[in-house]
Structure formats: structure tokens, C-alpha cells
């Protein structure tokens, strides 16, 4: 995306948001062709001129569900002008009911508890938390307190 290097970070991420729809369409086609459900990584998306950090559940039946990150980090707000979403969501799949929390969202125990109380047994967490971070311990404590399983997408979290 070097063509946007001359822009400010806030302008560049808004340009990158222009690719989100195409990425979601591609993931949806992959979900159908491989007969799997896919949780995308999070992507920038503009809705009514507001910038959100959004993840998608692309289902094997062609359905697409959308989730907005609730807890935006201070830098996401300050540097990019990003907004937080306003609702916890669970999604019905052919494999059961799942929840999605994006990265920093999982650091707030009430998010995981609310999903577990809604009947979710698995919470999927697209994240960029690095290895050596407190993420592995924190995810284990969220699982224990909510009695559901969490599946972070960044395998580096559990590397030694």
C-alpha cells in the first residue's frame, strides 16, 4: 500500500478501508468453495463517515455477519480517528453459536461473560497481540471466569 505513504495515518487508513468490501467478498467465496466458516482478521470500514475496526464471519452457506470492535485503543482513536462499536454479538453457525471479540475487546472480562451468558461456547478473537505479551495468561483467565473457550487467531501468543 505504498501508494498511500504520502498521506497522514488517518487519511491512509481511510483509503485502506476502500479495500474491505473486496476482501470480504473474497473471503466469502473461499468459505463457500472450501465449505468452511471463516473469521476474518479485522479491517477498517467507513460507515456514515465514521471509521470502525470490523471483523467478519463468512459462512460456508454464503452468509456474512459483521462485528465492530467495541473497545478502541487510545491510539486507534487518536491517530486514526476510529470509533468503537456499541453491541456485543453472538452468531449462529452450523457448528454452534459463536462470539467474536477483536483484540483489545477480550481484555474486558464483561465482554466474555456476556457472550457466555448468551449461550456462546466459543469466542473467536482475531488479534495481533505479540508473543511474550500477557495475552496467553489473560485468555486463560477469561475462559475460567466465563466457562467458555476462547480461540485467538494469532498463534504467536502461545509460542515460547
The per-residue DSSP string of 9-74 comes to: HHHHHHHHGGGHHHHHHHHHHHHHHHT--EEPPPEEEEETTEEEEEEEEE-TTS-EEEEE-SS--H
pTM (2 d.p.): 0.82
Give percent above pLDDT 70 in the chain. 79
Handedness of CA 125, 126, 131, 132 (dihedral sign): negative
- Of 87, 115, 141, the residue that ends a domain is 87
- pLDDT band (50, 70, 90) for residue 146: low
Last residue of a domain, one of 25, 56, 87: 87
Task: Identify whether residues 80 and 95 lie together within a single domain.
Answer: no
| Cell digits of residue 57 | 464471519
Instruction: Kindly state the average pLDDT of the residues 10-34.
Output: 96
Give yes or no: residues 34 and 78 share one domain: yes
Q: Are residues 81 and 6 in the same domain?
A: yes
Residues 127 and 159 in one domain: yes
Domain boundary among 38, 61, 87: 87
At 92-102, the pLDDT tens digits run: 999 899 999 99
pLDDT at 155 over 60: no
Average model confidence (pLDDT) across the chain:
84
Q: What pLDDT was estimated at residue 150? A: 59
4-18 pLDDT, tens digit per residue, is: 899 999 999 999 999
Distance CA 148, CA 88 (A): 16
The single residue listed with the C-alpha cell 504520502 is 6
List, in sequence order, every residue forming a beta bridge with 98; answer none if it has no partner. Answer: 91, 122
Domain interval for residue 56: 1-87
Instruction: Tell me: do 97 and 117 sit in the same domain.
Output: yes
Burial of 32 (0-12, 13-18, 19+ CB in 10 A): middle
Does residue 153 have a pLDDT over 80? no
Instruction: Please indicate, yes or no, whether residues 18 and 71 belong to a single structural domain of this protein.
Output: yes
Phi, psi of 21 (to 5 degrees): -60, -40
Question: Which grid coordinates belong to 75?
Answer: 491510539
What percentage of the chain reaches a pLDDT higher than 90? Answer: 57
Q: Quote the CA–CA distance of 83 and 155 in Å, as a whole number.
A: 27
Amino acid at each position: 500500500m505504498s501508494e498511500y505513504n504520502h498521506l497522514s495515518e488517518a487519511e491512509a487508513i481511510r483509503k485502506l478501508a476502500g479495500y474491505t468490501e473486496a476482501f470480504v467478498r473474497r473471503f466469502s467465496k473461499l468459505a463457500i468453495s472450501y465449505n468452511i466458516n471463516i473469521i476474518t482478521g479485522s479491517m477498517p470500514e467507513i460507515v456514515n463517515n465514521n471509521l470502525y475496526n470490523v471483523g467478519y464471519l463468512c459462512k460456508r452457506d454464503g452468509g456474512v455477519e459483521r462485528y465492530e470492535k467495541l473497545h478502541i485503543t487510545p491510539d486507534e482513536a487518536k491517530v486514526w480517528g476510529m470509533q468503537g462499536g456499541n453491541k456485543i454479538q453472538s452468531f449462529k453457525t452450523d457448528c454452534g453459536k459463536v462470539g467474536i471479540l477483536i483484540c483489545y475487546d477480550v481484555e474486558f472480562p464483561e465482554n466474555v461473560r456476556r457472550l457466555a451468558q448468551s449461550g456462546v461456547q466459543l469466542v473467536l478473537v482475531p488479534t495481533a497481540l505479540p508473543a511474550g505479551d500477557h495475552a496467553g495468561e489473560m485468555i486463560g483467565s477469561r475462559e475460567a471466569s466465563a466457562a467458555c473457550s476462547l480461540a485467538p487467531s494469532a498463534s504467536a501468543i502461545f509460542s515460547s
